[in-house]
Amino acid sequence: MVDPTSDLEEDVDEESAPRCAVCGGPALGVGRRTVTWVDGDAVRHRHFCTQDCRDDWTDERPSAGD
């Protein structure tokens, strides 16, 4: 099944997949994670190939309440 909210359809290969923000590997498959936030008028996002890379990411999002 293709997730209708995702731009990563089933036919995405490793070369065209987004790159992991931590290790640079292809972020696709069941282990893929994405963090999305609003920064002023822009939507920002970071892709991760695994939960471990997501956990290792130095979060660059502005703190709530700043």
Reading phi first (left if > 0) and then psi (alpha if -120 to 50, else beta), residue 31 is in alpha
Q: What is the mean pLDDT of residues 18-28?
A: 94
Q: Is 42 a residue whose pLDDT tops 80? A: yes
pLDDT at 16: 84
Residues 6+ apart with CB under 8 A from 50: 20, 31, 32, 33
Q: Is 15 a residue whose pLDDT tops 80? A: yes
Comparing 45 with 10, the larger pLDDT belongs to: 45
Backbone angles phi, psi at 62, to 5 degrees: -65, 145
> What span, in angstroms and rounded, lies between the C-alpha atoms of 36 and 17?
17
* Residue 32 CA, distance from chain mean position: 7
Entry pTM:
0.76
48: amino acid identity, one letter: F
Q: Is 12 a residue whose pLDDT tops 80? A: no
